[in-house]
Amino acid sequence: MSKIVMSLPKGMVKNSVIGGLLALAVYIGLQLICALLIDKGVFGMEQLYPMVCVAAFLASFLGCGFSVLREKGTSMLPVPVVVVVFMTLTLAGAFLTADAISVNNGLTGLGLSMAGGGLLAALVGYNLPKGGKGKVRSRRKRRS
């Protein structure tokens, strides 16, 4: 294993991978909802790209939020790892299903949406109460 992976706190890699897979599952579910809305005529095809970016943002926020909550706000390190896992899995799926992938096809907006969702999760997670042990006060019984 690399030195970076070995130096991460215990369970962080597992939480990051689970967060990335959760983000991918949410993204696929949101894509199915977007396809259904377009098929039923609620939205037109011109609304597809903004809907994809919103789906990527929400999925990234939820996946990163999962990892931040698992770490109890002690570290924001899982956030970029979740975004990288999510982006890698999404690009792998795109390479398997598309003939060609290019930046002109909206890849930049999709990546920025994923990063924005992760950033929002990090900002929300930063304001959470920190995990760990706080001061423990001992209670003494008063003697009468």
Residue 143 belongs to a domain: no
The vertex-23 CA angle with 66 and 125, nearest 5°, equals 30
Query: In the chain, what percentage of residues exceed pLDDT 90?
Result: 17
- Residue range of the domain that includes 118: 10-126
Does residue 7 carry a pLDDT above 90? Answer: no
> What's the rounded mean pLDDT across residues 40-52?
88
Residue 139 — φ and ψ, nearest 5°? -100, 125
Query: Which amino acid is present at 32?
Result: L
Does residue 131 carry a pLDDT above 70? Answer: no
Residue 144 belongs to a domain: no
Give, as one character, the DSSP assignment of residue 74: S
Q: How many helices (H) and strands (E) does the chain have?
A: 5, 0
Rounded to the nearest integer, the mean pLDDT of the chain is: 80
For position 141, what pLDDT does the model report?
A: 66
Residue 57 belongs to a domain: yes
| Domain count of the fold of the chain | 1
Residue 15 belongs to a domain: yes
Residue 4 belongs to a domain: no
Rounded to whole angstroms, the Cα distance separating 112 from 96 reads 22
Residue 119 belongs to a domain: yes
Rounded to whole angstroms, the Cα distance separating 71 from 78 reads 8
Does residue 32 carry a pLDDT above 70? Answer: yes
Residue 93 belongs to a domain: yes
Residue 134 belongs to a domain: no
Residue 86 banded pLDDT, cuts 50, 70, 90: confident
